[in-house]
A = this chain, B = another copy of it.
Amino acid sequence: MTASYVTPPLGAPTVHAAINALRAAGLRVSAARRALLEALYAAPRPLTAEELAAGGDLASTYRNLDALEGLGLVRHLHRGHGPGLYSPAGARDHEYAVCEGCGAIHTFEASQLDGARAAIADLCGYAVTFGHFPLVGRCARCN
């Protein structure tokens, strides 16, 4: 065990690192968790718990997503209606905007929205993240 994440500050870059973090936290590395992490890291976009379960047990998937989120390895975001979406918490954070018109999910590097975040902090003192709750509006194409 060379460079394990004792208490990972924010995410892990790979499935392997995530598994190490899991071990380091005293959690067991089960087949279900391995599969979950692989599905999460392989996905090009945030997925629902149903999609991540992929035939496996849904309740366990929710429990594991919750556990992983507690370690900072996974993040979830809410759309208006419908199930929540889960994504791995990589080294660089992503933030999201969903279009009310077409349902498309737009992904940004967190740094891209620093300007908007700063404007909001100036206005009301809120430190906001558009990752847990996405920006919602109409995209350029749907306007």
Contact = CB atoms under 8 A, between A and B. Distances in A.
Interface residues of A, number: 31
B133 A134 contact: yes
A99 interface: yes
Interface in A42-66: none
Interface string A92-121: 000001011000001010001101100110
User: What copy number does this chain have within its complex?
Assistant: 2
Given A119-B116, A123-B116, A136 B128 contact: yes
A103 to B, nearest CB: 13
A26 to B, nearest CB: 26
Contacts of A116: 116, 119-120, 123
A132 B137 CA distance: 9
Given A132-B100, A136-B132, A126 B113 contact: no
A127 interface: yes
A69 to B, nearest CB: 13
A71 interface: no
Given A78-B78, A97-B120, A127-B138, 15 more contacts: A80-B132, A97-B126, A97-B128, A100-B132, A108-B123, A112-B124, A115-B123, A120-B137, A124-B139, A124-B140, A128-B135, A129-B136, A129-B137, A133-B134, A133-B135
